[in-house]
């Protein structure tokens, strides 16, 4: 039964069908399926497939947009449930999060925000296309422990570097840790730009953030 459901979820994203995706997400919750598993095994598999099709010219931008709409519809059902499932309520630290300047991809960043929040971190989500100055200003305003920058495009990865440079210029590191992630990003890139950590997915981001909170002057890249 879950396999069939996951297959239908994947297909609803490929088809760009938000109503179906919403219904399947609701059905998963009603059947006791872990919402994160529904994302990873069902919906995210669909958006990854759509992205690959787009990448090799088999799908066009309007179709990819429709797939993204369907993905968002599913996430709207699942994310509140993930927050409810968060067992830890103690504030583990403050995280300022956003997508790098010029980048409007936010599905993965939102998932990272949800899982971190469900794990006990206080999240200040600046949204998409965030400038280094906005990251720095928010980090100062809320006295952040961690600044996290997501980037999905090879062209916007430079924005991650710019945020780290801006934090350094203001003398905010090493007290504030800078972490990065996103489909285009690798641990090699993280090391190259001197990030305090990189994670491949939302679950690893929690471990990474917890690790960094336990260290006072960590400057090395924590591998995913």
> Do 71 and 13 touch, CB atoms closer than 8 A?
yes
> Do 146 and 176 touch, CB atoms closer than 8 A?
yes
> Do 86 and 117 touch, CB atoms closer than 8 A?
yes
Say whether residue 38 binds ligand B1M (CB under 6 A): no
Say whether residue 73 binds ligand B1M (CB under 6 A): no
Closest CB to ligand B1M among 20 and 68?
68
Write down the least CB distance from residue 146 to ligand B1M, Å: 8
Write down the least CB distance from residue 29 to ligand B1M, Å: 18
> Do 197 and 208 touch, CB atoms closer than 8 A?
yes
Write down the least CB distance from residue 26 to ligand B1M, Å: 19
Long-range contacts of 32-35 (CB under 8 A, 24+ apart): 33/2, 33/5, 35/78, 35/79, 35/81, 35/82, 35/85
Say whether residue 44 binds ligand B1M (CB under 6 A): yes
Say whether residue 18 binds ligand B1M (CB under 6 A): no
Closest CB to ligand B1M among 20 and 67?
67
Positive or negative CA dihedral for 130, 89, 207, 78?
A: negative
Say whether residue 150 binds ligand B1M (CB under 6 A): yes
Classify each residue of 100-137 as buried b or exposed e, where b means 16 or more C-beta atoms within 10 Å of its C-beta: bbebebbbbbbbbbbbbbbbbbebbbbebbbbbebbbe
Write down the least CB distance from residue 203 to ligand B1M, Å: 7
Say whether residue 60 binds ligand B1M (CB under 6 A): no
Footprint of ligand B1M on 78-137 (CB under 6 A): 102-109, 111-112
Say whether residue 183 binds ligand B1M (CB under 6 A): yes
Angle at which helix 61-85 crosses helix 18-30, to 10 degrees, equals 20
Contact footprint for ligand B1M (CB under 6 A): 44, 47-48, 50-52, 54-55, 61, 64-65, 68, 102-109, 111-112, 148-150, 152-154, 179-184, 199, 201-202, 205
């Amino acid at each position: 039964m879950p396999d069939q459901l996951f297959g239908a979820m994947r297909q609803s994203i490929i088809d760009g069908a938000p109503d179906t995706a919403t219904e399947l997400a609701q059905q998963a919750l009603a059947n006791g399926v872990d919402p994160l598993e529904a994302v990873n095994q069902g919906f995210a598999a669909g958006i990854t497939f759509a992205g690959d099709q787009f990448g090799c010219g088999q799908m066009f931008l309007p179709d990819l947009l429709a797939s993204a709409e369907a993905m968002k519809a599913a996430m709207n059902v699942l994310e509140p449930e993930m927050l409810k499932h968060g067992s830890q309520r103690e504030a583990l630290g403050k995280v300022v999060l956003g997508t790098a300047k010029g980048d409007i991809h936010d599905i993965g960043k939102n998932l990272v925000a949800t899982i971190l929040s469900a794990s006990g971190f206080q999240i200040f989500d600046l949204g998409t296309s965030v400038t280094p100055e906005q990251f720095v200003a928010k980090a100062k305003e809320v006295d952040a422990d961690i600044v996290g920058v997501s980037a999905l495009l090879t062209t916007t990865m430079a924005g991650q570097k710019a945020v780290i440079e801006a934090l350094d210029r203001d003398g905010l590191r090493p007290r504030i840790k800078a972490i990065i992630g996103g489909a285009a990003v690798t641990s090699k890139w993280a090391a190259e730009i001197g990030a305090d950590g990189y994670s491949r997915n939302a679950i690893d981001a929690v471990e990474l953030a917890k690790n960094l909170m336990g260290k006072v002057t960590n400057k090395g890249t924590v591998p995913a």
